Amino acid sequence: MSDYIYKICRQAIWDEATAKGRFDGAGIDLEDGYIHFSTAEQVAETAWLHFNGIEDLVLVKVRVDGLPVKWEESRGGQSFPHLYAALSFEYVENVLPLPLAPSGEHVFPEEIPPRP
45-93, pLDDT tens digit by residue? Answer: 999 999 999 999 999 999 999 999 999 988 778 899 999 999 999 999 9
Q: How far apart are CA 94 and CA 115, in angstroms?
A: 21
Q: How far apart are CA 5 and CA 3, in angstroms?
A: 7
Region 9-29 average pLDDT: 95
Query: Which residues are CB-contacts of 60 (< 8 A; sequence separation ≥ 6)?
Result: 6, 7, 8, 9, 14, 23, 92, 94, 95
In this prediction the pTM is: 0.94
Answer whether 99's CB lies under 8 Å from 11's CB: no
Which one of 2.40.50.140, 3.90.220.20, 3.20.170.20, 3.30.530.20 gives the CATH number of domain 4-97?
3.20.170.20
